[in-house]
Each structure stands twice: as C-alpha cells, then as structure tokens.
C-alpha cells in the first residue's frame, strides 16, 4: 500500500510542477499585456526558470541521498508553495521572476528525487521504463491542465487585469496538499546510500566520468536538442496564436494546450508502436514527421483568415494543426531517458538525472531565447521555421546514440521505454 502511495505522490509532484513549469508561455503572454514589457524581456522568465534548474542540479544531484529523496521532494514543494502564495499578494513582474527562480530550484530537487525514486520502486528495466513513461505522461496531462486552469482566471474582456494572479492560490494549495501526501509515506532509500558518502570532489569526478562516456554525452546532446525544440513551441505557442493567428488571449492559451494533450496521446500510441517498431526507426520517423508538419502548416498560418467572432468552431486550421507536433515529439524524451538511466547502477541515478536536468534546462533556455529574438525581429512564422535546424541535428545525434547503445548492449531497455498497455 505504501508503494502505491509513494508512486501516487511522485505522479502528483510531477503534475504540480508540470502546471508551474509550462505556465511560462501563458505568463509571458500575460506579462506582455499586464506589465507592458517587450518579448525579449518577457523571455527572461525562461532564464529565471531554467538557470536555477541547471545550477541546482549540478550542486545537489550527488548529495540528495544524504538529505533523502522524500525529504527533498517535500522541501521543493514547500519552497514553491510559498512562492505561489506571494504572487497574488505582491503582483509584479519581479515577483514573477522570483516565482520562476523558486520553481527552477524546486524542480531540480524534485526531478532528481523523482527519477532516482523510480529506480528504488521498480524491480527491472521494463518496469522502470513503464513507470518512467507513466509519470512523464501524467506530466503532459499537467501541462494540458495548466492552460485551462490559467485561462479560467483571465479576464476575457480585459486581458491586462492582474486578477489572473489569483490562480496561484490554487497552485499553493496543491503544493501543500502534496506535502501532506508525502508526509505519511515511507521510501526505502538504502539502495541509493552508495552515493550518500561521496565528498564534493568525488561527486564531481563521478559526474565527469559519466560525461566522458560516449553514450552519455551523445544522449545528453540529444536531450538538449529535443528540449530546445519542445520549449520553443510550448513557451511561444500562446503568443503565436495571439499575434499571428489573432486569437483572444484566453483562447490562445487554451488552443496551445492541445500541444500537451497531443503529446500525452502520442506517448500512449507510441507504447503500442514500440511493440512492433524498433525505437530508433520510430524516433527518426517522428523527427522527420515534425519537419514535414512545420513545412506544411506554417504557410497556412501565414495566410490564415480570422473572423471577428472567432471561436473553437471557426478558428484557423493552423491553430489545430501546429499543436499536433506533440504527437510526433511524444516518444523521444522518455525513450532516450529510460535507455540512459536503466543502464546505470541505482546509486548513480541521482548524478545521471542531475546531468539530464542540467542539459534539459540549458536546452529550454536557449530554445526560448532564440525563439523570442527571432519572433521579435522577424515574426512568429520565421521563429517556428527555425526549429528545422535543431530537428536536423537530432537526426544526427540519434544515429550516434543508437550506435553507442548497441555497443553497450542497451538496445533492449529502450524497447520497454513506453508502456504497452
């Protein structure tokens, strides 16, 4: 019973952070209107989120076993819960920057703890892959809920109204409710204690040794490029819908949530496909499909006609098609993560997860920043066309990743990276 309570807690934590992390696109759009700031300045919120993730992951990944994964998750939720409570009390762009800094620090603690705990709660590589993808799938459901939750608090007639900050009372309650769920749970962390005795120099040497493995750095480069693409779309799709497709603010946010729903559905479908298709072939087909979708849909967005009384039944076709890129992005991240993690001994999972979080954060920051600059200088159409560059590079890194996985005999766990049911 305790095992299922702990798994429920991990899933809840991931959904809470999914809502907070992926609200950055919504908050950027709302900040532009509420605080009258430009796009490059608003894009700094991604930096305030991702830089603390990278720094915190680097500093604490190898030492979390000393604190304890369960306690680390409770601390992360308490920090971000307090930050959420400050938002409606002191609504300003600086408070928003503080919130995302706290979210970044807390997510680094939470993700390393969650991923490391998966190894403690599962018995084999197949089970590890299934639980990893289930939690990642619930993360996408949290992303889907994020857009609808925030749009419910936006004043449709006056989008600049700061009343939307009241959504953070709900998020603060979710954080402290999850702390309560963890409070009564227990987790046997003895298998991770091998890393708890590491000194700082030893921890840095372990991280360096992992980085020197060809499989690891090719994987990290793949993850970096994937997150660069994913964050470019998830962060800027609400603004794209608002400025390019001329949709109202609340509807722009709601339409962007289709991306999260498509990604969650894509992971379920991929679980079936991976029973019959090799993971490397499937991922390559997905990346090529993403590029084809961009080339076909962006011309539709450029020439979209938007009626004055636009709604869900007469929105431009491009508003529905662009988020479908989530179907194709879906299997990439959980597959490559499960291959990398399930290949390592459990005491090394925290260090490896720290590296994953660092490179993912850097990819997210760089992707959002590049998109913001291109968006501001050349428009949203060109900003999304730019994603074709990292997509091409992902095809290259996947080739080398498969080669190294085959050499290490790690192709088998990848096939189990998505659930069959």
pLDDT for res 415: 42
Q: At what angle do helices 125-151 and 24-34 cross, to 10 degrees?
A: 20
Specify whether the CB–CB gap between 44 and 35 falls below 8 A: no
- Alpha carbon distance 241, 234 (integer Å): 12
Is pLDDT of 403 > 90?
no
Highest mean pLDDT among 121-125, 268-272, 412-416: 268-272
Q: What is the DSSP letter of 315?
A: S
Q: In whole angstroms, what is the distance from residue 349 CA to residue 230 CA?
A: 24
Q: How confident is the model at residue 288 (pLDDT cuts 50, 70, 90)?
A: very high
| Encoded tokens for 165 | 């900050």
Q: How confident is the model at residue 286 (pLDDT cuts 50, 70, 90)?
A: very high
Enumerate domains of the chain plus CATH numbers: 2-415 (1.20.1250.20)
Mean pLDDT to the nearest integer, 402-409: 75
Other residues' Cβ atoms within 10 Å of the Cβ of residue 78: 15
Lowest-confidence segment of 104-108, 167-171, 195-199 by average pLDDT: 195-199
The DSSP secondary-structure symbol of 166 reads: G
pLDDT tens profile 315-371: 888 889 999 999 999 888 888 877 777 666 666 666 777 777 778 777 877 877 788
**Per-residue pLDDT tens over the stretch 135-185:** 877 787 887 788 788 888 887 777 778 888 999 999 999 999 999 888 877
Question: Which residues are CB-contacts of 317 (< 8 A; sequence separation ≥ 6)?
Answer: 300, 304
Q: Say if pTM beats, i.e. exceeds, 0.75.
A: no
Q: What is the token pair recorded at 238?
A: 């609400």
Q: Mean pLDDT score of the chain, rounded to an integer?
A: 81
């Amino acid at each position: 019973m305790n095992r299922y309570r702990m798994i429920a807690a991990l899933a809840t934590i991931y959904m809470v952070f999914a809502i907070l992390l992926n609200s950055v696109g919504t908050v950027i759009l709302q900040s532009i209107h509420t605080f009258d700031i430009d796009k490059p300045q608003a894009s700094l919120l991604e930096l305030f989120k991702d830089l603390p993730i990278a720094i915190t992951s680097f500093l604490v990944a190898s030492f979390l076993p000393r604190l304890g994964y369960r306690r680390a998750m409770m601390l992360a939720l308490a920090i971000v819960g307090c930050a959420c409570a400050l938002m409606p009390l002191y609504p300003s762009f600086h408070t928003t920057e503080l919130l995302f800094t706290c979210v970044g620090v807390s997510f680094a603690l939470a993700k390393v703890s969650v991923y490391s705990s998966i190894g403690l709660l599962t018995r084999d590589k197949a089970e590890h892959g299934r639980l990893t993808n289930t939690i990642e799938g619930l993360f996408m459901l949290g992303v889907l809920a994020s857009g609808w939750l925030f749009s419910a608090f936006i004043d449709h007639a006056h989008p600049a109204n700061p009343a939307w900050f009241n959504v953070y009372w709900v998020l603060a309650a979710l954080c402290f409710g999850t702390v309560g769920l963890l409070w009564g749970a227990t987790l046997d962390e003895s298998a991770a204690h091998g890393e708890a005795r590491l000194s700082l120099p030893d921890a840095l040497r372990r991280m360096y040794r992992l980085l020197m493995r060809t499989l690891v750095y090719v994987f990290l480069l793949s993850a970096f490029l994937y997150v660069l693409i994913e964050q470019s779309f998830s962060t800027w799709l609400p603004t794209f819908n608002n400025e390019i497709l001329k949709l109202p603010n609340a509807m722009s946010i709601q339409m962007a949530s289709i991306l999260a729903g498509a990604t969650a559905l894509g992971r379920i479908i991929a679980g079936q496909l991976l029973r019959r298709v090799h993971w490397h072939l499937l991922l390559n087909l997905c990346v090529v499909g993403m590029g084809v979708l961009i080339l076909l849909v962006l011309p539709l967005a450029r020439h979209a006609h938007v009626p004055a009384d636009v709604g869900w039944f007469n929105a431009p076709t491009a508003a529905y098609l662009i988020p479908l890129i989530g179907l194709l992005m879906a299997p990439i991240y959980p597959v490559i993560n499960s291959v990398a993690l399930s290949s390592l001994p459990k005491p090394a999972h925290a260090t490896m997860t720290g590296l994953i979080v660092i490179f993912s954060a850097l990819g997210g920051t760089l992707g959002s920043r590049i998109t913001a600059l291109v968006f501001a200088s050349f428009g949203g159409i060109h900003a999304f066309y730019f994603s074709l560059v990292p997509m091409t590079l992902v095809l290259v890194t996947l080739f080398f990743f498969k080669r190294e996985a085959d050499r290490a005999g790690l192709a088998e766990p990848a096939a189990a990276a998505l659930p069959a049911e």
